Structure 1
Amino acid sequence: MARPLRASRSPKGAPNVIIILLDDVGFGQTSTFGGLIPTPNLDKLAAQGLKYNRFHTTAICGPSRAALLTGRNHHTANSGFLMEWATGYENYSTMIPRTTATIGEVLRDNGYTSWWFGKNHNTPDWEQTVAGPFDRWPTGMGFDYFYGFNSGETHQYYPVLFENTTPVEPDKTPEQGYHFMTDMTNRAIARMKASKAVAPEKPFFMYFAPGAMHAPHHVTAEWRDKFKGKFDMGWDAYREQVYKRQLDMGVIPPGTKLTPRPDWVKPWDTLNADQKKVYTALMENYAGYFAFADHEIGRLQDAVKELPDADNTLIIYIVGDNGASAEGGPDGTLNEIKGLNGINSPLEDVLKNLDKLGGPASEPHYPVAWAWAGNTPFQWVKQVASHLGGSRNPMVVSWPARIKHDDKVRDAFVHLVDVVPTILEAAHIKMPKTVNGIAQKPLAGQSFLASFTDPKYKGRNEQYFEIFSNRSMYADGWKADAQHTLPWRQDLAPGNWDKDRWELYNLDEDFSEANDLAAKNPKKLAELQAKFDVAAKKFGVYPLDDRGAGRLSSPKPPVPGADPGGKHFVYAAGAIRIPEPAAPPMKNNTWTLNAKVKGEGAKTQGVIMAFGGVAAGITLYVKDGVPIFDYNYFDEHTVVKSSKPLPDGESTIQLDFDYAGGRGKGAKIALKVNGETVGTGSMEATVGGRFGIDTFGVGEDTGQPVTPAYKAPFKFNGDIQQVTVDIK
């Protein structure tokens, strides 16, 4: 006789669990950890819980998130680096395997409901189309609900949004006050309240991962102006002030040294007036964005307090998935996608466009030196996994039912892989040997639940680090470091790993990695180098790959089921939100686009094809009946406009893009209507890497507009019968 189906129940007393994960935050930025950016809501959470000052990430976002969600090292979860830089090596494929099930899936199988809000940088972008597969989307990795964006970042005013696996659009425009941070917070609060109203005894797991503080740093002038003049002292004085605050607050132990300014940071007092104006404005903008993000997270925290089981809610607030980011380049930028393509923005370009700062027409990022200052007291920055400036982030934990506030900062050596075991122990759940019938790889971490009540808990004994060939090995208080690449030089791939200089630090005596002992203790250094080699072989770190822009622009897997050698692409209206690797390869190639449309002459309006967005992209659209092609090369627009409007009825619009060859080179452009050439143009350079954080679509420009000449989505008001793209 068949047994009746029964819904799984959670263990008695299992807590609600919320993981809050910020992006690109330095150890010395929040007021909670001695920084000069006020974060009052993080302060409040810390005042009822615990602060951790030796928590570690992988030094970059996608791998950090894979480690956090699976409890395995990022290479084991096939996430050795970011999906946009994926290679054919399994551990760098960014395709999280089913043998490393997420905490969302394990908890859901044990009576929890699970939700993912915000950033998802763990679904390969060639799997982000309507064709799927969807098993590596949040809803395929154990989460009941997803509301957010795929990829490393999104435009906060024009986000590329999905609800579960369905593309959705914001309900307001930027002019009406839309911002993604507010939107996702509203959604999270509403779902949390509704779930507890329907099933008050069912615990939830919420993964709350906003795009903040990753670039683009989007915030209104109202928030930015709160920080006017607050950073005029410059980055050198900022570090001195924060270092003193950290000592006074007990965030860092007595005797900690402030690491010196490196040669890649200019002394503040040597800068001219224009440099100071730009650099302070970009930092004020970042601080405003951070204050705004703290405000929104405060609303979430307040909503938790209204739950019937508020005290039994475990909040793990990880303040950054890596250290502060230096990807804005030496001068900062209003177009950070340009930097990711290996092109730095001249200071003059930023200065003359400061009126756009923080708004929808900008994609801002602050300069390298503010990232260095933000990581006080450590060396280096995001991506540099070799040093603590890249991999050490603050963490705050609150659980009123089990944690009594303690002013003593917890100094256990803890890593992202330790979070899953901690949650499972808190919920009285054992990690299953199989999930959905698939044998599971062992967890890499260990629970730090004991630290909730034991301030002497020491944490893990060993941990390796590797990102972009920047590598490190920690063992029993000692740490060996080899810095290899520069985060602001995507064009740099030095190779020669055997020539890297290794450093050695005793972290028990040297919290900030200020005293290199490599020359004094070569035996200990050799011991740690050997340990790194063992870990690298065990967890699949090799082969090392230090390519930046080169790997970014290298071929990626095709959409599953697509022809990998295809050169003929056919679309109908409504084909939207196609990510860059899944779209026609219209960069570094000659191509022809043909659109068969039906309109009403001068009344015809709207987008035929759009690819990319504010940072860079291409669009073919019709305005007042006139076909127009616009190539946005990092805010430099090459426009080819038809000399005559479309006739009534059916027309064929053709765009010939005759590329010069190579990478990022120029092109000649010809626009034709019904076989007649109606406009020509030329370009000296084109985008060689990626258009950025928006997608390809036909019939409308979803997300950010490629050009300010229209308001997105500027949907085509006629009939698009077919759009074809032929790669030559």
Structure 2
Amino acid sequence: MMTACQQTQKEESNSKEATGLPYDDPEFKGKIGRTYQDSEMDWPDLPSPKADAPNVIVILLDDVGFGMTSTFGGSIPTPHLDSLANQGLRYNRFHTTAICGPSRAALITGRNHHNAGSGFLAEWATGYPSYTTMIPRATATVAKVMKYNGINTSWFGKNHNTPDWETSAAGPFDRWPTGLGFDYFYGFNAGETHQYYPVIFENTVPVEPEKSPEEGYHFQTDMTNRAVEWLRIQKSISPDKPVFMYYAPGAVHAPHHVRKEWSDKFKGKFDHGWDKEREIVYARQKEMGIIPQEAKLSERNEHVPLWDSLNDEEKKFYTLLYENFAGYLAFTDHEVGRLLKTISELPDAENTLVMYIVGDNGASAEGGLQGTVNEVKALNGIPTSIEENLKKADEIGGPNTEPHFPIGWAFAGNTPFPWVKQVASHFGGTRNPMVVSWPKVIKDKGGIRSQFLHLIDVVPTILEATGIDMPEYVEGVKQRPIDGKSFMSTFTDADAPEIRTTQYFEVFSNRALYHEGWVAAHQHTFPWRQDLAPGYEDETWELYNIAEDFSESNNVAEQYPEKLEELKAIWEQEAEKYHVFPLDDRGAGRLAVPKPSPLGDRTEFTFYEGATRIPETAAPNTKNTSWTMEAMVTTQSGAKDGVINAIGGLGAGYTLFVKDGYPTFLYNFFEADIMTIKSSKKLPDGLSNIKVDFIYDGGGVGKGATVVLYVNNGKVGEGRLEATVGGRFGIDTFGIGVDTGSPVTEEYSVNQFQGKIEEVNIKLKR
């Protein structure tokens, strides 16, 4: 007889089976006899989407301000986005989290970013559930739900949702796109990549670009080609079967890489400067009806220098940087246009839902007060003079630069709102345009929708459109409820009731609470000063009545103190409900928080040929310490050259290589100081030992070092560094036998090593 406990367990098991994914294998309803002659076949009835389910294409750009694209009143022409909007709907009150990784977690899970374990970025992860950046299995992605319901899924471009330390060949891979429900992935696993030398993976295997930058390679074109190919083959084989694609370019996140034929289109277009640009865009937005006629332009930020206060060299450099960015955004629109053209040619184009989100946050101020042509250097907190930057004026946007504009252009790009990316307290960080097209359903072509929406509302909208229910269990794990709500009602009704009356925001302790037409806001940290930790004493909150004040231009905290306190209290409730705590404003200090690592606490490592594309966080941390590298190599006459070990790229890094038979160690300190130690002796034939002894000065971060080079235990060279990289080498990777991605130096005669690398041993002296 079954006990009460057993009965309960059985009921729970049955409940899980009935409401979970993947579905159980269907029961065989045929007949099994002794031979096929007395048997009856019954093919399993596999999951399939409902008959009229649409294709779903989600497009997500990176770091685009509300007032940048021509579609929403900006000065940068985006004709393909314009065309899509004229066929569909513009949403002018759509919101992100104010930072990329968290926005993307919210987008693909339908949960608030803290609920999805993504309170901030992987590089700043801490060991609290909401900040590990390890998307929980309890918050399954929309792709996993669609996949198990018979819809093929793909992801192209940027993946910033795999923890930093899990992006090596050692995995684990359950938080890579292919583990998150996407059948196919082609892209990069980081916040950004070099567009000419990208760190690409196909599914979980590293791949190299098929041609060089000199031959015309650009990642945006490459990923678009792959996306177009994937769509065409899907529809060639099964034209009636709906598909789901997540197309997420690295554009237009820094580094802003684009060829001169694009940036040259904007020569002189922004000579008027960022202050005038705000006024121009604001007027155009009103004229187009993107913002209400009564909306005011938010007050200019006191931290941004007046354009007229700059000298001629500053104006020249800052204008060049924004002309380059404008070319990058226009080029991105061109590439997205190629994808949209392919979509329009599908056999079921009319039944294709395109949700185009123009930015995962507002425009970025991470270029600092002065902008840069070496973003990695800037992110390490090391300034570069205008004179140094202008030496590369003719190269801006090319493979040998990593440019980012100064903060003034970011504030202009977010017109008419205050603040920028990372500042989740204000709409400059969180208000992004969205365009939705679905010809079969949306008939109000060119219409504008002003319902207050958030990224978390995308998943439930997709599920309603495809007729799929969110299951209670996925892969045996009970799911957290979806936090978003479907806004499909707005597709056919401009006056559809609001679905979202309350929404909290928090990033880096910048906080806001939207509730029934009001916003309480507290700006806490600065994107361009992540070394600051202001603390939580004497916080100042602002209050906006956005039902009347579209652009957050009028702080009414003093007029309505009770309303402000009411919203602050609701923020606390929402923060508890969605697991926002603990708040953390340490900024760059969080980079030093110990994180999981496939390396463990080892200080000695052995690598062999083929160990390439290893992310910096999974490679030996040779920064701020002494270390040795010993390479055992076998060579023969006429085949000795190439890279033995390299980490980083043109922005910063080091490399041990052989050129013309001479072992050489080169250390690139942000291009400002490049130390080269060339061996006094050639490498002999046969088995040889090459050793680098890196003797760090100690006493802090980024100090100097003495470097000694040996061949077969004999000293063959020595060099001196007055400063070393203390933070990160950047967006390139660690490799043995070849320098993949952006090369540390252009001095190689040959990149891939011509001999045989027996092993490379690295020992950290801690």
Normalising by the smaller structure, the TM-score range is over 0.9
1:162 is aligned to: 201
Does the CA contact (< 8 Å) of 2:639 and 2:755 recur in 1? no
Question: Is contact 1:549-1:689 (8 Å) kept?
Answer: no
Q: Which residue matches 1:340?
A: 379
Q: Which residue, out of 637, 642, 660, partners 1:624? A: 660
C-alpha contact 1:464 1:535 (8 A) present in aligned 2:
yes
Task: Pick one of 497, 513, 519 that aligns with 1:473.
Answer: 513
Letter of the 2:587 counterpart:
G
Q: For residues 456-508 of structure 1, what are the alpha-carbon distances to aligned partners after superposition, in whole Å with 9 as ceiling and x for unaligned? A: 1323011111111111111111111111111111222222x132210000110
Q: Partner residue of 2:256? A: 217
Q: Which residue identity is paired with 2:398?
A: G
Q: Which residue of 2 aligns with 1:725?
A: 762
Quote the residue 2:323 is aligned against: 284
Name the structure 1 match of 2:466.
427
Matched ranges for 1:477-496 at <5 A: 477-495=517-535
Q: Does 1:663 align with 2:701?
A: yes
Q: Are 1:693 and 2:731 counterparts?
A: yes
Tell me the distance in 2 between the aligned counterparts of 1:240 and 1:184. 36
**Match among 167, 177, 181 for residue 220 of structure 2:** 181
Query: How many equivalent residue pairs?
Result: 723
Deviations 1:508-565 (A, max 9, x none): 0001101001111111111111111111122121111112222123332111xx4x21
Q: Is the 8 A contact 2:613 2:734 kept in 1?
A: yes
> Could you say which residue in structure 1 is the equivalent of 2:595?
556
CA deviations over 1:394-419 (Å, ceiling 9, x no partner): 00000000001344410000000000
CA distance in 2, matches of 1:585, 1:408: 53
Q: Which residue of 1 aligns with 2:6?
A: none
- Paired residue for 2:267? 228
Tell me, in whole angstroms, the C-alpha distance in 1 between the residues paired with 2:438 and 2:409: 34
Q: Which amino acid aligns with 1:600?
A: Q
Q: Is residue 570 from structure 1 mapped to residue 610 from structure 2 by the alignment?
A: no
Assess, with a 3 A threshold, how the Cα gap between structure 1 residues 601 and 500 changes in structure 2: closer, same or farther: farther
Instruction: Summarize the Cα distance change of 1:716–1:377 in structure 2 as closer, same or farther, 3 Å threshold.
Output: same
Q: Does 1:317 align with 2:356?
A: yes
By how many angstroms is 1:275 displaced?
0.6
Q: Tell me the secondary structure at the aligned position of residue 11 of structure 1.
A: coil
Deviates most, 685-694 or 273-282:
685-694
2:493 aligned partner:
454
Match of 1:638 in 2: 675
Whether contact under 8 Å (1:502, 1:518) holds in the other structure is: yes
How far apart are residue 189 of structure 1 and its match? 0.6
Query: SS state of the match for residue 449, structure 2?
Result: coil
- In 1: Cα distance, 2:236 partner to 2:758 partner: 48
Instruction: Evaluate the alpha carbon distance shift between residue 470 and residue 173 of structure 1 in structure 2; reply closer, same or farther with a 3 A threshold.
Output: same
2:718 is aligned, of 675, 680, 683, to 680
> In 1, Cα distance between the equivalents of 2:297 and 2:93?
16
Counterpart for residue 140 of structure 2? 101
Quick check: 2:54–2:351 contact (8 Å CA) kept in 1? yes
User: Which of 568, 590, 593 pairs up with 2:626?
Assistant: 590
- RMSD of the TM alignment (CA)? 1.2
Answer yes or no: is the 8 Å Cα contact 2:97–2:507 preserved in 1.
yes
Kindly report structure 1 stretches of 4+ aligned residues shifted beyond 6 Å: none
Q: Is 1:602–1:626's contact at 8 Å kept on the other side of the alignment?
A: no
Contact map agreement 1:705 1:711 (CA 8 A) in 2:
no
Aligned partner of 1:464 in structure 2 is 504
TM-fit CA distance, 1:73? 0.5
- Aligned residue for 1:552, secondary structure, equals helix
The letter of the residue matching 2:404 is H
Q: Distance in 2 between matches of 1:687 and 1:5?
A: 59
Aligned partners of 2:446, 2:153: CA distance in 1, in Å? 32
The one-character-per-residue Cα deviations of 1:663-717 (angstroms, maximum 9, x if unpaired) are: 11111111111111111111121111111111111110111101121278x1100
- State the distance in 2 between where 1:402 and 1:46 align: 14
1:218-617 matched pairs, under 5 angstroms:
218-457=257-496, 458-495=498-535, 497-559=536-598, 562=599, 564-600=600-636, 603-617=639-653
Q: Match for 1:621: what amino acid? A: F
**Contact 1:340 1:490 survives alignment (8 Å):** no
Q: What CA distance in whole angstroms lies between the structure 1 residues aligned with 2:749 and 2:413?
A: 37
Distance 1:349 1:105 in 2: 49
Listed one character per residue, the Cα deviations across residues 8-33 of structure 1 (whole Å, up to 9, x for unaligned) are 11012100000000000000000000
State the one-letter code of the partner of 1:236: D
Query: Normalising to structure 1: TM-score of the pair?
Result: 0.98
Distance 2:573 2:368 in 1: 35
Matches within 5 A, 1:26-175: 26-175=65-214
**Cα distance in 1 for residues equivalent to 2:734 and 2:571:** 42
Please identify, of 516-525 and 317-326, the stretch whose mean Cα deviation from structure 2 is larger.
516-525
Structure 1: unaligned runs, 5 residues or longer: none
Instruction: Give the Cα–Cα distance (whole angstroms) in 2 for the partners of residues 658 and 93 of structure 1.
Output: 34
Question: Which residue pairs with 2:34 in the alignment?
Answer: none
Letter paired with 1:312: N
Q: TM-score with structure 2 length normalisation?
A: 0.93
| Aligned-partner Cα distance in 2 for 1:256–1:77 | 35
Matched, 1:18 2:52: no
Separation of aligned partners in 1, 2:45 and 2:181: 19
Contact 2:444 2:492 in 1 (8 A): no
For residues 299-347 of structure 1, give each alpha carbon's deviation from its aligned partner in whole angstroms, at most 9, with x where no partner exists: 1111111110000000000000000000011111011112222223322
Secondary structure at 2:333 match in 1 = helix
Contact 2:691 2:710 in 1 (8 A): yes
In structure 1, what is the Cα distance between the partners aligned to 2:142 and 2:81? 24
Residues 60, 249 of structure 2: 8 Å contact kept: yes
Counterpart amino acid of residue 127 in structure 1: E
Is contact 1:468–1:545 with CA below 8 Å preserved after alignment? yes
Task: Confirm or deny: 8 A CA contact 1:593 1:654 kept in the other structure.
Answer: yes
Q: Secondary structure at the match of 1:657?
A: strand
In structure 1, what is the Cα distance between the partners aligned to 2:325 and 2:548? 33
Give SS of 1:543's match. Answer: coil
SS at match of 1:104: helix
SS of 1:517's equivalent in the other structure is coil
User: CA offset at residue 111 of structure 1?
Assistant: 1.4
The amino acid across from 2:645 in the alignment is M
Report the AA paired with residue 528 of structure 2.
Answer: W
1:134 Cα deviation from its structure 2 partner: 0.5
More displaced, 523-532 or 636-645? 636-645
> Partner of 1:62: helix, strand, or coil?
helix
Q: 1:342–1:490: 8 Å Cα contact kept in structure 2?
A: no
- The residue type paired with residue 7 of structure 1 is L
> Quick one: distance in 2 between partners of 1:242 and 1:601?
65
1:137-190 CA distance string (max 9 Å, x none)? 000000000000010000000000000000001101000000000001011011
Secondary structure (helix, strand or coil) at the match of 2:93 reads strand
Distance 1:270 1:383 in 2: 27
Give the letter for the 1:604 counterpart.
K
Give the direction of change, closer, same or farther, for the CA distance of 1:602–1:489 in structure 2 (3 Å limit): farther
Secondary structure of 1:282's counterpart equals helix
